[in-house]
Amino acid sequence: MVLNSGLPPVLAVSNLVKRYRNGTLANDGISLALQPGEIYGLLGPNGAGKTTLVRQVLGVLRPTSGSISLDGIDVVADPGSARRKIGFLPQGQCDFLGLHVSEMIEYSARLRGMSGSAARRRRDELIEQLDLGSFATTQMHAASGGVRRLAGFAAAIAAPARLLVLDEPTNDVDPIRRQVLWNTIGDLGQQGATVLLVTHNLAEAERFIDRLAIIDGGRIVREGTPSSLRSLVTERLRLELSLSGDVAPHPALTPEPAATGSYLLDQRDLAAVSGWLHALREAGLLLDFRIGPPTLDDIYTAVVAPQRELEAVL
Amino acid sequence: MKALRQYRDLTSMQIRSMRTDLPMIAVIHIAFSVGLVLGYGYLIPDISEATATYLVTGTATQAFVTVGLVMLPQMLSQSKAEGRLEYYLTMPISRELYLLSLISVVAITSLPAVFFALAFGAWHYDLSFHVEPAFIAVAVLAVLSLAGVGVAMAVWSNHPQVVNGFTQLVIFYVLFFSPVLLPASQLPDLLEHTAKLAPPTYAADGIRGTLTDLPSSNVGKDLSVMGGFAVASIALSAFAIRRRG
C-alpha cells in the first residue's frame, strides 16, 4: 500500500446527499477522501447506502447535493471523463452470458481504451495471474459463480485505472482463488492503485484495508484504520461456541447477529464465562469453543447494532 | 476512428455474448415467417397474385417488427432489471454507439427471416420481386425506426413485465389489426387512422413500394416518417440512459 498523503486525494466526496424521488434518504451528508494508493473499505448493513454512494461515484446516479471529485474531475458535471479513470466490479451481474471468460476480459480492456494487442496481452496476463487458464474458453453462462466473479474482477482491473471500485469481489470464489484475488488487490494497492472496496468479508479484507468507513442509515458512523477502530472494542473478546444441546447463552454473552454460535464478551466477564464453559464441558454439552481478539466483524457489530437499537427506540 | 472502433467492439461483443441464442432466434423467426406465409394462404384458397404479394411483403415487415419491436425491448428490459445495462453504462462508452450496436445486432438477427419470407413466398406463390435501390434505405430505416421505438420502450419502463405484455400486444396488433398484413381498406376507420401513428405501417408500405408494383405506396413519405421515428426514438432513449436518477 503506497500512501501519498501529501498528494490531493484521488477520490474526494463532500457532503453527499441523495434523496430518491420516493423520499428515501439514501446518503445523508457523506464525506470521504481516498489517498493515492489507498485501499479503503466501505462496510455497512444491507440498505445502509453503500450502493447508492458507489453509483454516484460511477456517475450513473446524480446526487441531490454535494460534490464528488475523481482525480480532479467533477464527477457530477462530467461523469463521462470520470468513467475513463474507473474500473468497476459490481455486486450483481456484470457478465455477458455467451462471452468466453477470456473475451469478457479482453473486451473490457478494449472498451476502456486499450489497443487490441495490449488488451490481448493483458487478458493473457490476468488469466495466468488469477489461475483462469482452464476456463479461458468457457462461456460465462456455463462457468461457476466463482469463476464468473473472477472474470468480472479481471475485467474491472484489465485497463489501468486511477480508482477501482470493487463490490464484494470474493463472493462465490473458492478459498484458494480467493486468496489469489486478495493478493492481487494487495498488489494493486502496492502499485499505487486506489481501491474502494465494498465487502462484508471483513475477516479476509482487514489484512489489506488501509482505512475503512462504517456506513449506516446513509451516514458514515465510524471511519479510521482497522487498528484505530479495533480500539473501540478492545475490551471485548470473541467467543465461538459449538454446543450439543439447547443451552441458553451466558448472560454476559452478546450474540453476533451475522454468525450463529459467535458471541462477544467483555474481558471483565472472562472468568465467569470460563466457569460456565467448564460446567458445560462437565455436562457433556460443550463440543468446541474458541476465544480470540476482536476482528473487524466485531467492530462492525459494535458500531452498527447500538445504532439500530437506538433507531428502534426512537 | 475511435468511435468506429468502439462501435465495432460493442457490436461484436454483443453478437458473441448472444452466440448461443442467435442461431436459435434466427431459426424461430424464419419458421414463424414461413408459417405466416403458408398459414394465411390456407385462409384464402384462391389467393390472387396481388393478395399473395401483400401477404409476403407484410410477412417480411413482420420479421423486422418481431425482432426490433418485440425481442429487443424484452431483452433490453430484462438486462436493465438485472443490472447488466447499468454495467455497460459504467464503462467509458458512448451511449449512442451502444444503442446503435444493439440495433445493429437486431438488424443482423432479423435479416434471415426477412430473406426467407420473401424467398419462400416468391417460390410458394410464384411471385417475382423487383428490388429497387431504395429498398436498402427502407430496410435500414425500418430497422432503425422499429428497433429505436423498441429500445425507447425498454429504457423508459422500469418493469420488464409491462414491456413483455406490451410487446405481446404489438405483435397481436401487427398480425391482425394493422395494414402490415391486412389491406388498410379492409380495416375499420379507427384502425386505419391509428395505423398512421405506427412505424410498422410505413415499414410495410416502404417494402412494398421498393419490391413490388402494388399501388398506393409513397416511399418518400415512408422514408421520411421512419427517419423521424428513428431519430426521435434513439434521441429519447439516449436521453433516458443519460439520466442519472
If you search the block for the grid coordinates 438486462, which residue do you land on? B79
Task: Report how far residue B202's alpha carbon sits from residue A189's, in angstroms, rounded to the nearest whole number.
Answer: 58
Task: Report how far residue A56's alpha carbon sits from residue B78's, in angstroms, rounded to the nearest whole number.
Answer: 23
Of A83, A99, A141, the CB nearest to B91: A83
Give chain B as a 3 state SS string: CHHHHHHHHHHHHHHHHCCCCHHHHHHHHHHHHHHHHHHHHHHCCCCCHHHHHHHHHHHHHHHHHHHHHHHHHHHHHHHHHCCHHHHHHCCCCCHHHHHHHHHHHHHHHHHHHHHHHHHHHHHHHCCCCCCCCHHHHHHHHHHHHHHHHHHHHHHHCCCHHHHHHHHHHHHHHHHHCCCCCCCHHHCCHHHHHHHHHCHHHHHHHHHHHHHCCCCCCCHHHHHHHHHHHHHHHHHHHHHHHHCCC
Task: Report how far residue B26's alpha carbon sits from residue B33's, in angstroms, rounded to the nearest whole number.
Answer: 11
Task: Please tell me if residue A61 touches chain B, with a CB cutoff of 8 Å.
Answer: yes
Residue of A nearest to B95 (CA): A80
Tell whether the model's pLDDT for residue A1 goes beyond 60: no
Q: What tens digit of pLDDT does each residue of A29-65 get?
A: 999 999 999 999 998 888 889 999 999 999 999 999 9
Task: Please tell me if residue A19 touches chain B, with a CB cutoff of 8 Å.
Answer: no
Q: What is the share, in percent, of chain A residues with pLDDT greater than 90?
A: 44
Task: Report how far residue A71's alpha carbon sits from residue A7's, in angstroms, rounded to the nearest whole number.
Answer: 11
Assign A93 a pLDDT band (cuts: 50, 70, 90): low
Assign A288 a pLDDT band (cuts: 50, 70, 90): confident
Mean pLDDT computed over every residue of chain A: 86
Whether residue B112 contacts residue B194, with contact meaning beta carbons closer than 8 Å, is answered with no
Whether residue B120 contacts residue B30, with contact meaning beta carbons closer than 8 Å, is answered with no
The answer to whether B92 contacts A110, with C-beta atoms less than 8 Å apart, is no
Q: What tens digit of pLDDT does each residue of A201-211 get?
A: 777 777 788 99
Whether residue B26 contacts residue B112, with contact meaning beta carbons closer than 8 Å, is answered with yes
C-alpha cell at B245: 436518477
Q: What tens digit of pLDDT does each residue of B121-150 get?
A: 999 999 999 899 999 999 999 999 999 999
Task: Please tell me if residue A289 touches chain B, with a CB cutoff of 8 Å.
Answer: no
C-alpha cell at A190: 502496492
Whether residue B148 contacts residue B202, with contact meaning beta carbons closer than 8 Å, is answered with no
pLDDT at B86: 86
Task: Please tell me if residue A200 touches chain B, with a CB cutoff of 8 Å.
Answer: no
Give the residue-averaged pLDDT of B56-61.
94
Tell whether the model's pLDDT for residue A167 goes beyond 70: yes
Is residue A303 within a helix (H) or strand (E), and if so which, with residue range?
helix A296-313
Whether residue B72 contacts residue B106, with contact meaning beta carbons closer than 8 Å, is answered with yes
Chain A residues inside the 8 Å CB shell of B13: 96, 99, 103, 107, 111
pLDDT at B239: 87
List residues bridging with A164 in a β-sheet: A87, A195
Chain A residues inside the 8 Å CB shell of B82: 92-93
Other C-beta atoms within 10 Å of B54: how many? 22
Tell whether the model's pLDDT for residue A313 goes beyond 80: no
Task: Please tell me if residue A123 touches chain B, with a CB cutoff of 8 Å.
Answer: no
User: Parallel, antiparallel, or unpaired: how do β-strands A25-34 and A194-198 relate?
Assistant: unpaired
Task: Report how far residue A178's alpha carbon sits from residue A246's, in angstroms, rounded to the nearest whole number.
Answer: 35
C-alpha cell at A135: 476456463
Task: Please tell me if residue A60 touches chain B, with a CB cutoff of 8 Å.
Answer: yes
Which positions ≥6 away from B121 have C-beta within 8 Å?
Answer: B37, B52, B55, B56, B59, B60, B127
Beta strands across the sheet bearing A65-70: A25-34, A11-19, A65-70, A73-74
The answer to whether B90 contacts A110, with C-beta atoms less than 8 Å apart, is no
Task: Report how far residue B13's alpha carbon sits from residue A309's, in angstroms, rounded to the nearest whole number.
Answer: 49
pLDDT at A312: 58
Tell whether the model's pLDDT for residue A2 goes beyond 60: no
Task: Report how far residue A150's alpha carbon sits from residue A144's, in angstroms, rounded to the nearest whole number.
Answer: 10
Whether residue B134 contacts residue B40, with contact meaning beta carbons closer than 8 Å, is answered with no
List residues bridging with A163 in a β-sheet: A86, A194
Listed residue (A195, A216, A204) closest to A52, CA to CA: A216
Chain B residues inside the 8 Å CB shell of A97: 17, 20
Residue of B nearest to A60 (CA): B244
Residue of A nearest to B22 (CA): A98
Give the residue-averaged pLDDT of B63-85.
89
Q: How far is B96 from chain A (nearest CA, A)?
A: 13
Give the residue-averaged pLDDT of A269-274.
88
Whether residue B60 contacts residue B34, with contact meaning beta carbons closer than 8 Å, is answered with no
The answer to whether B91 contacts A94, with C-beta atoms less than 8 Å apart, is no
The reply to whether the predicted model has a pTM over 0.90 is no
Q: What is the share, in percent, of chain B residues with pLDDT greater than 70?
A: 99
DSSP assignments along A69-117, one per residue: EETTEETTT-HHHHHTTEEEE-SS----TTSBHHHHHHHHHHHTT--HH
Q: How far is A19 from chain B (nearest CA, A)?
A: 10
Four-CA torsion A17, B160, B94, B237, nearest 10 degrees: -90
If you search the block for the grid coordinates 466473479, which residue do you land on? A149
B8-42 as b/e: b if 16+ CB within 10 A:
ebbbbbbbbbbeeebeebbeebbebbbebbeebbe
Mutate to test the interface with A, among B5, B84, B90, B98 (most CBs of A within 10 A): B90
Other C-beta atoms within 10 Å of B215: how many? 8
